[in-house]
């Protein structure tokens, strides 16, 4: 605790915290944006309208990669970052993986042979939205000294969403295995379900790193 107090005093003196806080928040917002793009894509499919340009997800992933690289550059030039270097790197990487897996999911959906059973994906996407929103909230608490009550409540929402997504995944697989889908469709849908679940897991991973940072520096 003494180290975190000294760290905050030092950065208040030299004013170098903002770059890291801004970069981490930008990364969380980009992850959240990719989730919103996925929801819009699924909604368009459900409504029978033209989905948004999938290139937007590629742009989101590239922006997230640029944010991550900029974070590494800041770490290389900073004498004393506001948090442990390995934690900042781990969080930047965890955030990058969210739009990356969502982009892959939408690419696979685009080549699905036939009408996509979209409702199960929308159900999971709602949980993914809860998780992404919680990430943004948690990161925004860090500059103020990480109110552990608020961070803990947001992390609980994130973990609950991830747990529900796991249970829903098992239910969906059970329904899939007992359905009339052809073997090819079964394999493809299972892989799509698993990609969507992986996106929720990536949010959980990022949330775990934020919680670790908050506990160390609160």
Domain coordinates in residue numbering, the chain: 2-217
Question: 2-217 — its CATH code?
Answer: 1.20.58.220
For the stretch 16-34, pLDDT in tens is 557 889 999 999 999 999 9
pLDDT > 70? residue 206: yes
- In whole angstroms, give the CA distance from residue 134 to residue 157: 7
For the segment 58-83, the average pLDDT, to the nearest whole number, is: 90
Within a 10 A sphere around the Cβ of 214, how many other Cβ atoms? 22
178 vs 157: CA distance, rounded Å: 32
Asked if the model's pLDDT at residue 98 lies above 90, the reply is yes
At residue 211's C-alpha, the angle toward residues 56 and 163, to 5°, is 70
Whether residue 192 has pLDDT greater than 70: yes
């Amino acid at each position: 605790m003494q180290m975190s107090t000294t760290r905050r005093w030092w950065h208040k003196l030299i004013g170098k915290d903002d770059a890291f806080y801004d970069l981490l928040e930008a990364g969380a917002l980009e992850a959240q944006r990719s989730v919103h793009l996925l929801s819009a894509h699924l909604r368009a499919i459900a409504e029978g309208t033209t989905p948004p340009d999938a290139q937007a997800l590629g742009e989101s992933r590239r922006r997230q990669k640029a944010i991550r690289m900029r974070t590494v550059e800041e770490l290389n030039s900073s004498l004393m970052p506001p948090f442990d270097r390995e934690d900042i790197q781990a969080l930047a990487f965890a955030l990058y993986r969210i739009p990356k897996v969502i982009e892959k999911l939408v690419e696979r959906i685009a080549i699905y042979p036939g009408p996509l059973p979209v409702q199960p994906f929308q159900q999971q996407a709602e949980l993914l939205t809860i998780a992404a929103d919680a990430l943004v909230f948690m990161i925004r608490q860090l500059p103020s000294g990480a109110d552990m009550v608020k961070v803990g409540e947001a992390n609980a929402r994130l973990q609950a969403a991830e747990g529900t997504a796991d249970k829903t995944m098992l239910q969906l697989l059970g329904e899939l295995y007992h359905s009339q889908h052809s073997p090819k469709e079964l394999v493809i849908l299972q892989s799509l379900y698993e990609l969507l679940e992986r996106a929720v897991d990536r949010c959980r991973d990022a949330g775990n790193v934020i919680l670790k940072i908050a506990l160390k520096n609160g």
